[in-house]
Amino acid sequence: MKRHTMPSILLAALLTVSLVGFAALAGAKGESNAKSASKGATTQWLVESPHTAENCLATLDAISANGGDKALAAWQFGCMAGEHVGWMVVRAPDEQTALASVPEMVRAQAKAHKLNKFTAAELKSFHEKMK
């Protein structure tokens, strides 16, 4: 049986809290996100923030320091699977604002990907244009 070290147990606990909190946050924000989208003032961004195994806990501490459990709950992490990357979907008017939620110590490596959705009608239109 594999022995768990205190950092790995702490990360497992943080990941569990993050997943549960993110689900609750997503449910609570669903209605406000729909309202924001209809105004057109903001766009959804997938923020991707890699960090090293060595600065993993410092990165998590920095996120927590900027908003506690609520800030941690907004992020999803691959750390427990050995992929030291955090992902978060945010609404922001631009890329720089989306990246502002990333701790400064790892912000230079972070990326913000602008997200969009397609309807079946749009997909059909794209196919028609390709003919």
pLDDT one-digit tens code per residue, 10-44:
344 344 333 333 333 334 344 344 444 445 578 99
d(CA 65, CA 72): 9
Angle between helices 56-65 and 6-39 (to 10 degrees): 50
pLDDT one-digit tens code per residue, 44-93:
999 999 999 999 999 999 999 988 999 999 999 999 999 999 999 999 99
Instruction: Find out whether 14 and 71 touch, Cβ atoms under 8 Å.
Output: no
Cα atoms in the 13 Å half-sphere on the side-chain side of 20: 7
Task: Report the run of H or E that residue 39 belongs to, with start and end.
Answer: helix 6-39
- Locate the domains of the chain by residue range: 6-130
